[in-house]
Amino acid sequence: MRALDRIALTFGLGFLYAPILILVVYSFNASALVTVWGGFSTRWYGVLAADAPLRAAAGVSLAVALASAALATVFGTLAALALDRGGRFAGRRVFTGLIYAPLVMPEVITGLSLLLLFVGLGLDRGLLTLVVAHATLGLGFVAVIVGARLRGLDGALEEAAADLGAAPGRVFATVTLPLIAPSLAAGFLLAFTLSLDDLVIASFVSGPGATTLPMRLYSQVRLGVNPEINAASTLLVGTVTALVLTASWLTGRKGVA
């Protein structure tokens, strides 16, 4: 049984990570042909550094990720607070469901509905619509992470602060916020990551002058894969992995910094 488990685990992990491993290995390929190994080289990282359109797309991606993650963190936290601490208002269960729904909604649907909304509002598609769309995407994740932390918080802590004369604003600033801060940071990083690697929604709501890194990579691949794409993808994978690991470390920690 244990041997079988081990085989299953090996297959599962291999299935998940072998393609990524191949991608990373081939990003150090000296050959210009993607599928032929020509020895170790970092030349494609040099090519990548010199590729101005790709660098511009990376800049757009980072800016959009930063702005949308910040928005998602603020509104997601507010949503979590309202749902957890707002008492039993009418429709609370419905709202909770509505917060979770975008997490499982097909991205095509999210993208299409946002596109229709922006067109209906007469908004020009570009950086602004990208930021708004990605903030919408990340909000639900932030709300879930912050909500879990809030539920795990001993309510007596906030009561003790109020009991010692702190008005609700001071209770929030000095007790609630510092104690849920790790979950805010984790939520921010996850929203940042989601924005950074999103292609589907971005291709619906983006416009000229606002091409993100995944969009750029995708359009280049359609013209033919070269090792430069591998290099760019490797950097993206590295960034996302680091952010997700940081986020899970922040949520898993019991104490507070």
Residues at the contact surface with other proteins, assessed by CB under 8 A: 154, 156-157, 159-168, 171, 174-175, 178-179, 255-256
Measured from the CB of residue 162, what is the shortest distance to other proteins in angstroms? 4
Q: Rounded to an integer, what distance in angstroms lies between the CA atom of residue 153 and that of residue 161?
A: 14
Classified as helix, coil or strand, 40 is strand
Q: How far is the CB of 9 from other proteins (least distance, A)?
A: 37
Give the shortest CB-53-to-other proteins separation in angstroms.
46
DSSP secondary structure of 126-163: SHHHHHHHHHHHHHHHHHHHHHHHHHHS-HHHHHHHHH
Task: Rank residues 3 and 256 by Cβ distance to other proteins and give the closer one.
Answer: 256
Nearer to other proteins, 182 or 214 (CB): 182
Tokens coding 151:
């539920």
Q: Which CB sits closer to other proteins, 94 or 256?
A: 256
**To the nearest whole angstrom, how small is the minimum distance from the Cβ of residue 148 to other proteins?**
18
Minimum distance from CB of 201 to other proteins (Å)? 37
| Nearer Cβ to other proteins (124/163) | 163
Q: Are the C-beta atoms of 194 and 134 separated by less than 8 Å?
A: yes
Nearer to other proteins (CB atom), residue 75 or residue 172? 172
Distances, alpha carbon 14 to alpha carbons 17, 29, 189, in Å: 5, 22, 27
Cα dihedral value 203, 55, 224, 209, nearest 10: 40
- The answer to whether 183 and 149 are in contact (CB under 8 A) is yes
Ramachandran region of residue 154, left (φ > 0), alpha (ψ -120 to 50) or beta? beta
The C-alpha atoms of residue 210 and residue 187 are separated, in whole angstroms, by 25
Nearer residue to other proteins within complex by CB, 174 or 248: 174
Question: What minimum distance in Å lies between the beta carbon of 165 and other proteins?
Answer: 5
